[in-house]
């Protein structure tokens, strides 16, 4: 998966490529928007459903923002294997997080201090 860490660059590339927003992650005290570029060869067989899949992905990302666990669990399963499987690990991480924590919120694991 090719990641893009700059909203302006992602928006510029959207005219030529399939660019999908992922979740924002904390970095240097602020939230960093993250996007991925889906290679064309991964979606060629899905071209007839691409717009529908993109809309479902947008709903999934909005559910992450809204901390809507039920929607994330439902859409996460529906989106598996879409986009040529390119985002399956992303969907699985969010689904697992929802199941384990009851929330979609990103949290940084506490570091274990050596004593």
pTM of the predicted model as reported, rounded to 2 decimal places: 0.87
Whether 9 maps to a domain, the answer reads yes
Whether 12 maps to a domain, the answer reads yes
Total domains present in the chain: 1
Whether 67 maps to a domain, the answer reads yes
Q: Residue 86: what pLDDT? A: 94
Residue 6 domain boundaries: 2-101
Whether 110 maps to a domain, the answer reads no
List alpha helices for the chain, DSSP H: 7-13, 40-43, 50-65, 69-79, 88-101
- Read off the DSSP letter of residue 103: S
Q: Residue 1: what pLDDT? A: 79
How many whole angstroms separate alpha carbon 67 and alpha carbon 26? 16
- Which carries the bigger pLDDT value, residue 42 or residue 111? 42
Mean pLDDT of 38-47: 88
Whether 72 maps to a domain, the answer reads yes
Whether 106 maps to a domain, the answer reads no
Q: Residue 27: what pLDDT? A: 86
Confidence label for 113 from pLDDT (cuts 50, 70 and 90): very low
Mean pLDDT of 20-28: 91
The torsion angles phi and psi of 31, rounded to 5 degrees, stand at: -90, 130
> Which two three-digit tokens encode residue 93?
């991480």
Q: Residue 108: what pLDDT? A: 67
Instruction: Report the first-to-last Cα separation within the chain, whole angstroms.
Output: 38
Whether 77 maps to a domain, the answer reads yes
b/e string for 7-41 if b means 16 or more Cβ within 10 A? eeebeeeeeeebbbbbbeeeeeeeeeebbbbbeee
Whether 39 maps to a domain, the answer reads yes
- The percentage of residues in the chain with a pLDDT greater than 70, rounded to a whole number, is 93
Mean pLDDT of 21-37: 91
Q: Is the pLDDT of residue 110 over 90?
A: no
Residue 74's alpha-carbon distances to 53, 59, 95, in angstroms, are 14, 11, 9
């Amino acid at each position: 998966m090719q990641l893009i860490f700059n909203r302006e660059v992602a928006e510029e590339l959207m005219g030529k490529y399939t660019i999908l927003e992922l979740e924002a992650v904390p970095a240097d005290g602020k939230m960093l928007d993250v996007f991925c570029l889906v290679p064309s060869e991964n979606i060629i067989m899905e071209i007839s459903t691409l717009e529908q899949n993109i809309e479902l992905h947008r709903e999934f990302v909005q559910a992450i923002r809204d901390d809507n666990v039920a929607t994330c669990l439902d859409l996460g399963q529906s989106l598996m294997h879409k986009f040529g499987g390119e985002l399956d690990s992303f969907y699985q991480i969010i689904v697992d997080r929802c199941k384990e924590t009851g929330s979609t919120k990103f949290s940084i694991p506490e570091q274990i201090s050596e004593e």
